[in-house]
Structure 1
Amino acid sequence: MTAPTSALEPWPDTVDWRPVSRDLIWVELIRLGAMEILLLGGVVAVWAATANRLLGLGVIAVLAIGIWRAFVIVRAVAAWGYAERDHDLLVRHGLLVRRLSIVPYARMQFVDVTAGPLERLFDLATVQLHTAAAATDAKVPGLPPAEAARLRDRLTALGEDRAEGL
């Protein structure tokens, strides 16, 4: 058994991390673009109706935040990863606040695979793991459907095997 890593190290480097698809960046950028259009439309409509010069600053702020968020999305997608170990699944994500979720196979109750319209457009799916404690649920977005199905089937089989031993 390997020596335990520090709790302050965000991602154990002794694990073989699998990244999510880079196409997830496009999905998130399209979502951001839709939100930007809605926000800009609202600010511009109010600006046109009131002719308040301060709302011009609101337009600039919405655009600036959108550009900043686009850069963050690219880095955030790169931070997502998962690793299958003998007794548990590790899921990592986050830039400023890094999160490492460790879900024991024996604690899994069920596994969902979902794909919204944008995800289907880019041939992606999300695997969601559910446990008895909602705080320990984990999800892995941005997987090709074949990998999502493989992971779902593997996690379900491992969960059943481990649960029999309880």
Structure 2
Amino acid sequence: MSAQDSSLTSPFDPAEVVWQPVSPRLVTVRLIPLAIVLGVPLVAGAVAAVLSGIAGLWVVPAVFLLLGVWAAVLVPRQVHAIGYAERDDDLLIRRGVAFRNLVVVPYGRMQFVDVHAGPLDRWAGVAAVQLHTASAASDAAIPGLPPAEAARLRDRLAARGEARLAGL
């Protein structure tokens, strides 16, 4: 393998894996709470700066505005980096832009599969699939799936888990 070929492979991108993306509606689900959290102090800081007449107070809303712009750029990249792939013996879940993460969950290790959606998720038409294993440190969740895909994945993973567990 040449040096150029080895630079194309990564521990986060196994060979011959077709990644399934999550719904782009997850961007909206993640940006709305951020807009609320950043918008309240932005407005409060702007009101305080206007009412007090102190020019230095404009730093407060400017900071929250910059944080909002940064989030508006970062969140879509984070959502685009989330993906999952079903293989014969395990499920791969990847996420992260700066700090990448790849979780490999063997089907035989799954104890149960959970699907959940909060009010904002339901409004946007997305759900999350959570995989529970014997490991307390396991962080195997796939957010931002359309509800039909979440239900399909839940049933498929549960069936594969039972089949692998029965083979032990």
TM-score (norm 2): 0.86
Q: Distance in 2 between matches of 1:134 and 1:42?
A: 41
SS at match of 2:71: helix
TM-score (norm 1): 0.87
Q: Which residue pairs with 2:124 in the alignment?
A: 122
Q: Distance in 1 between matches of 2:101 and 2:77?
A: 15
What is the CA deviation profile of residues 85-137 of structure 1, one whole-angstrom value per residue up to 9, with x for unaligned ones? 11110000000010000001111111110111111111110001111112223
Q: Distance in 2 between matches of 1:54 and 1:129?
A: 49
Q: Distance in 1 between matches of 2:150 and 2:72?
A: 26
Letter in 1 for 2:103: S
How far off its partner does 1:36 sit? Answer: 1.4
1:145 partnered with 2:139 = no
Q: Which residue pairs with 1:95 in the alignment?
A: 97
- The answer to whether the 8 Å contact 1:90/1:102 transfers is yes
Letter in 2 for 1:77: V
User: Relative to structure 1, is the Cα distance of residues 55 and 12 closer, same or farther in structure 2, using a 3 angstrom cutoff?
Assistant: farther
Task: Judge which range, 125-134 or 38-47, deviates more.
Answer: 38-47
Letter in 1 for 2:24: R
- The answer to whether the 8 Å contact 1:32/1:70 transfers is no
Aligned residues: 161
- Sequence identity of aligned pairs in percent? 50
Gapped runs of 5+ residues in structure 2? 1-7
Q: Distance in 1 between matches of 2:112 and 2:139?
A: 10
Q: Which residue pairs with 1:15 in the alignment?
A: 17
Structure 1 vs Structure 2 CA RMSD: 2.1
